[in-house]
Structure 1
Amino acid sequence: MPMKLAILSRNSKLYSTRRLVEAARERGHSVRVLDPVRCYMRIASDGFGMHYKGRPIAGYSAVIPRIGASVTRYGTAVLRQFELMGSYAPNPSDAILRARDKLRAHQLLAAQGIDLPVTVFGDYPDDTVDLLSMLGPPPHVIKLTEGAQGAGVMLTEKPSASRGVVEALRGLYANFVVQEFIGEAEGADLRCFVVGGQVVASMRRQAPEGDFRSNLHRGGSAEAVAATADEQAMAVRAAHVLGLGIAGVDLIRSRRGPLVLEVNSTPGLEGIEAVCGTDVAGRIVDYVAAHAE
C-alpha cells in the first residue's frame, strides 16, 4: 500500500534526508520534506490542527523524524502533534526526548540491566572530589549530556584535570556526566544500526591518531564488521528500552563484554551506507510502511 510520508528535516539536501526521499519514491510512496520549525499547531479539546508555510497539512500515514539537537524541544512538539493527528512515527517524540538526554538514557538502560561504562553525575561544587571518588581513579571521560558527533566529550588523565574540567563546566551551567574510560577499546567503537528490532548494518569506527573519539565527523575511520550475537542483542534491547524503532547504538568492546556508549535517535545514513554497502534507507522505509495505517 502506498503511503503518504512526511520527513521532518531542516535541510532537504542532507544525505540522510535525500536517501529517505529516494527510497520512498522508488517504492511508490508519496513523500514530502517538512522543516519542523515552519510547522505550527492548533491545540484544542475538539481536535488538533497543523499548518505549514500558510497552508493546512494533514493525512500523513507516517512521519520519519530527522530532528537535529538544536531544535529538539520544538521538533518533538511538532512530531507529537503529528502523532496526535494519527500519524505513525517509528521514533515517537517521547522516545527521542529519552535518548537525547544522556543521563536519563543511561538511567533507563542501567535499570534494565544493560551494561555501560560506570557513570557519575552531581550538581553541587563541594561534592566534586567525593563524586569522582565514586567513579575511581582517572582517566575519566567527561561528556556534555546534549552533545553530538563527539562534541563536548573530553578525556582527563589526572584527578586535578578532572576536577578542573568539572568546575569549569559547572561555571558555564552545563549539564554533563563523568564516566570510566575503557582503555582496552583503543579508541574504537561499534555502531549498530537498528531498524525494527534488527541490526541491519554495523561498522567499527576507529579514532584518529591522538584522539579517543571515533566519530567519522572528527576524522575517524570505519570498516564494515559483523556484530556478534551478544552485541546485536544488546543493541536491539537498548533501542527497545528507549522506545526507538530506528536507532544508531554505539557499543564499546570491553574486558567485561559489550557496553552501550550511546543510543542515537537520529543516526546518519551516509557513513554506514558507504561503509557497509547496505540500503539502510530502504530498510527504514519498508519498516515504516509495514507499520503505518
Structure 2
Amino acid sequence: MKFAILSRNAKLYSTRRLAEAARDLGHSVRVLDPLRCYMRIANDDFQMHYKGRAMSGYHVVIPRIGASVTRYGSAVLRQFELMDTFTPNPSDAILRARDKLRSHQMLAAQGIGLPATVFGDNPDDTNDLLSMLGPPPHVIKLNEGTQGAGVMLTEKLSASRGVIEALRGLYAQFLVQEFVAEAKGADLRCFVVGGRVVAAMKRQAPKGDFRSNLHRGGRARGIKATKAEQDVAIRAARVLGLGVAGVDLIRSARGPLVLEVNASPGLEGIEEASGVDIAAEIVSYSAQRHKRRAAKRAAAKRK
C-alpha cells in the first residue's frame, strides 16, 4: 500500500516513527512537506504536484500538520481526500479540533464533561463575563495555542482582568476556564486510534507550574485509564470526527473532564511512557480502513 505522511520535518520523532512503522508493515511511504504541495482545482479534475512532479495513487495520507500551517496544510489534506485518498483524520476534523472554542461547544453539546468555560469579545463585558465563570483562580488559554504555550493561571480577579485586557489589545482569541484544584497539576493523555484507547499516560506538572505538558518540563508515566476515562476519550474523538487523537483529561470530583483534543498528538512521550508501538497502531488502523472502504466500493459496483 502507498502511504504519504504530511510533515514539515521528516526527522521529527513522530514522523520518523510513522514512516518506520509503515515500512516495517510492508508499505511504501513518502514524507511530504505540505507547504511544497500545490494543487489544481476544477469541477472535473483534482491534481496535486510536489516539487515539480505530479502525485497520484496514494492509498493513505497521515497528517502531521503543525498549528502554524493549519490553514494551508488542511487544504492540502482536503485535496488528497478529493483525490480519493483515505486519511484517519479528515481536514474538517483537524480544523474543528484546532479551534478550542468550536471543539468545546461541540463536546459540551454531546454532554461530555469540560471545565466551565467563558468567551467574549467586547471589553465592556469583561466583568460580567468573569462573574459568569465564578471566582478565581482562572485559566486563560489562547484559542489556538499548543503544547502549553499561551496558557496562563491568574489567582486574583484583577489579574484576570489585566491579562484579558492585554490579550484583547493584541487582538488574540482566547478562552477563560475554571481552575480544577483537585487535579493537583496532573492530567491524563489518552491516545485514541480507531475508537480504542491504545495507550494512556499520566503527566505531572513540575513544581511551581500547573501545566503538565512534557514540553514544559512535566513528568509522565504509563497508566491504564479507567473505563469512564476511556469512554470519555473515545466519545470526544468521535464527536470531532478524528480517527487518531490525543485526548487530554483531568480527574475531578465530578468525573473526567476534557481539556483538549489534539488532532496531531506527539508519539515520543507516550510511546516511551507506555511501551506501546502507537505508530504501528496508527498505520495498521489506516490500512485496514482503506481496505474496508475499497471492498465496499467494489461490492457496490458489482450490484
The normalised TM-score by structure 1 is 0.99
- Secondary structure in 1 aligned to 2:146? coil
Tell me by how many angstroms 1:190 deviates: 0.3
Look up the SS of the partner of 2:235 in the other structure.
Answer: helix
Please state how far the C-alpha of 1:46 moved relative to its aligned partner. Answer: 1.4
The residue that corresponds to 1:35 in the other structure is 33
CA distance in structure 1 between the partners assigned to 2:208 and 2:43 by the alignment? 57
Counterpart of 2:14, as a letter, is: S
Equivalent residue runs for 1:257-268 within 5 Å: 257-268=255-266
Equivalent in the alignment of 1:220? 218
Of 75, 78, 81, which aligns to 1:77? 75
CA separation in 2, counterparts of 1:240 and 1:27? 26
Counterpart in the other structure of 1:54: 52
> Which amino acid in structure 2 is aligned with residue 39 of structure 1?
C
Q: 1:235 is matched with which residue?
A: 233
Q: CA RMSD in A?
A: 0.4
Match in the other structure for 1:286: 284
CA shift at 1:162, angstroms? 0.3
The code of the aligned residue for 1:154 comes to M
How many angstroms apart in 2 are the aligned matches of 1:67 and 1:157?
34
CA distance in 2, matches of 1:184, 1:44: 54
Alignment of 1:1-293 (within 5 A): 3-292=1-290, 293=294
SS at match of 1:23: helix
Residue 28 of structure 1 deviates from its aligned partner by 0.5
Partner of 2:211: helix, strand, or coil?
A: coil
1:255 Cα shift? 0.5
**1-side partners of 2:232 and 2:218: how far apart?**
24
Cα distance in 1 for partners of 2:138, 2:44 equals: 53
Render the CA deviation track for 1:92-149: whole Å, top value 9, x for unaligned: 0000000000000000000000010000000000000000000000000000000000
Structure 1 residue ranges, 4+ long, deviating more than 3 angstroms after superposition? none
Tell me, what secondary structure is at the counterpart of 1:127?
Answer: helix
Q: 2: CA distance between counterparts of 1:102 and 1:96?
A: 11
* CA distance in 2 between partners of 1:111 and 1:46 (Å): 38
3-state secondary structure, aligned to 1:91: coil
Tell me how far apart the structure 1 counterparts of residues 20 and 87 of structure 2 sit (CA, whole Å). 19
Q: In the aligned structure 2, how far is the partner of 1:169 from the partner of 1:9?
A: 30
* 2:298 match: none
Q: Secondary structure at the match of 1:189?
A: strand
Equivalent residue of 2:190, what SS? strand
Q: How many aligned positions are there?
A: 291
Give the Cα–Cα distance (whole angstroms) in 2 for the partners of residues 160 and 150 of structure 1: 23
